[in-house]
Amino acid sequence: MEEQNPFKNAQKQLDDAAEIMNLDRHAHALLREPMQTVTVNFPVRMKDNTTKTFTGFRVMYNNARGPGKGGIRFHPHEDLDTVKALSAWMTWKCSLANIPFGGAKGGVICDTKSMNDFELEALSRQYIRSIAGFIGPKTDIPAPDVYTTPQIMAWMMDEYSKIKGHNEFGVITGKPLETWGSEGRSDSTAMGAMYVLREAAKMKKLNLRKAKIAIQGFGNAGSFAFELATKLFGSKIVAISDSRGGVYLESGLDFNKLKDVKERTGNLESYKGAQKITNEQLLELDVDVLIPAAIENQVTKSNADKVNASILLELANGPVTPDADGILAQNGVFDLPDFLVNSGGVIGSYFEWAQNTQNYYWTKDEVYQKLDTIITKSFKDVIATQKQYAEKGKKINTRMAAYIIAVGRVAAAMKARGWY
Ligand code: NAD
């Protein structure tokens, strides 16, 4: 079905923003398609000495504001249209954060679960050899994404450095600290989301010390969000879930106990004294803050009406469907869009790249403080844009306000460069 195509969705979102902001039609046409799309087919020698051919992609969507930036996914169902959509969204995310990057994304069709480390390393190196002419610290800088890890980033950086004949640490971000990754990069996504939550709570006059929070997902993003919300604000996390379901405890869950239960039993449900809940029930709990931090399409037109939280912090990518937006707004839910809330990840990557290119390294505190400055400014820009449009009689949600800022900045850069 056409609306299932992620790239068509990304184009539709751009079209909607273009209409509201009255975007120049030449700029609009340029921004509807990626500037560069690369498909590569390459051989990998497998452990049993056979050779297998893999297909990979690298899409550089737009570089008017700086080199391409975006992760690499290793996924059995990867396809070009998904990579194109993700590269468009990276363009808007980098622009909203006002960091000097365009947007890009890459991927390889493969099933990492059926591969051993030997094959994974060979695949990572061959993919980089195939796209080496299209990436670089000044052209396009990849990072980890679904099923790619800091170790894979280190192999890729090493392969690229060998091709160039010198170390190029700045070609890739999300590397381990040993190969000049950045302090604070591992939890920068969740930390950024906490700064956004702090500002949203101030605006809504919500005391986070007394707030009840529910988090969907206990992976990288969700578990750091849990830990940080309790540590920074003293909030109570009353519910959490993973793909198998979740737990609810009115008096608040304990992070270390939960981690221990998950490690020992493989699920969250064995947490003593907590009530079992489904992922659907979690979304409908009577809490102050709801943080979807798992997968896309969780709040839809069929359950948006049942969201009881006053703040919805979209830590996952795409957790709220477009048809749920209006319902949430009508019910007074303050919904903060994914490409603002989770932009701490790419901002952390920007810091890593900036440190690599200067060969000068920062402390964790410096990283957090700079992250706070950038993401808090993004939040304030979104709220100010929403207000400006309201004053002109146009009611827009925070997602549209974020789009208007992001698309406007890229269009302005293209105009200044004489592209239209
Ligand atoms: P992850 O794989 O570490 O964790 C995902 C979590 O979601 C797991 O706990 C998993 O059990 C749970 N989950 C899977 N299917 C589920 C379902 N049907 N219902 C409920 N829970 C389910 O992934 P992550 O890195 O934490 O990413 C989570 C989301 O955040 C994704 O949308 C990702 O794109 C987004 N994000 C993450 C980062 C980052 O730095 N990790 C950056 C930007 C955006």
Q: What are the pLDDT digits (tens) for 217-233?
A: 999 999 999 999 999 99
CB 235 within 8 A of CB 327: no
Q: Indicate whether residue 243 lines ligand 1 (CB < 6 A).
A: yes
pLDDT of residue 4: 61
Please tell me whether residues 236 and 332 are part of one structural domain. yes
Q: What is the pLDDT of residues 180-191, one digit of tens each?
A: 999 999 999 999
Q: Tell how far the Cα of 245 is from the centroid of ligand 1, in angstroms.
A: 14
| Host domain of residue 103 | 36-170
CATH of the domain at 146: 3.40.50.10860
> Does residue 267 have its Cβ closer than 6 Å to ligand 1?
no
Residues 230, 142 share a domain: no
- Taking the model in full, what pTM does it have? 0.96
**Position 50 in a domain:** yes
Distance between CA atoms of residues 252 and 74, nearest Å? 37
Q: Tell me if residue 41 falls in helix, strand or coil.
A: strand
Nearest CA to ligand 1 atom 37: 221
Question: Ligand 1: which of 263, 282, 295, 351 to mutate, judged by most atoms within 8 Å of the beta carbon?
Answer: 295
143 forms beta bridges with 71
Domains: count for the chain: 2
Does ligand 1 lie within 6 Å of residue 149's CB atom? no
d(CA 89, CA 81): 12
Run means of pLDDT, 10 residues per run, the chain, 420 residues: 71 95 98 98 96 98 98 96 96 98 98 95 98 98 95 98 98 98 96 98 97 96 97 98 96 97 94 97 98 94 97 95 92 96 98 98 98 98 98 95 98 98
d(CA 265, CA 279): 19
* Co-location of 162 and 77 in the same domain: yes
For the Cβ of 283 lying below 6 angstroms from any atom of ligand 1, the answer is: no
- Do 227 and 106 share a structural domain? no
Rounded to the nearest whole angstrom, what is the distance from the C-alpha of residue 55 to the centroid of ligand 1? 25
Positive or negative, the Cα torsion across 324, 326, 331, 333? positive
Distance CA 375, CA 367 (A): 12
HSE-up of residue 321 (Cα within 13 Å, Cβ side): 13
Residue 19 maps to a domain: no
Query: Of 312, 341, 370, which closes a domain?
Result: 341
Q: Are residues 197 and 329 in the same domain?
A: yes
203 and 334 assigned to the same domain:
yes
Q: Do 214 and 108 share a structural domain?
A: no
pLDDT of residue 322: 86
Distance 327 CA to ligand 1 centre (A): 25
Establish whether residue 341 lines the binding site of ligand 1, counting it when its CB lies within 6 angstroms of any ligand atom. Answer: no
Q: How many residues are given for the chain? A: 420
CATH number, domain containing residue 208:
3.40.50.720
Angle between helices 117-131 and 150-164 (to 10 degrees): 50
In a domain, 410, yes or no: no
Residues 33 and 108 sit within 8 Å (Cβ to Cβ)? no
Active site residues: 105
Atom of ligand 1 nearest to the CA of 223: 26
- Rounded distance from Cα 413 to ligand 1 centre (Å): 33
pLDDT of residue 3: 46
CB of 241 sitting under 6 A from ligand 1: yes
Ligand 1 atom at minimum distance from 343 CA: 43
Q: Are 194 and 337 in a shared domain?
A: yes
Measured at the alpha carbon of residue 224, what is the angle toward residues 271 and 340, in degrees to the nearest 5? 130
Task: Indicate the SS3 state at residue 355.
Answer: helix
Closest Cα to residue 132, out of 152, 109, 106?
A: 106
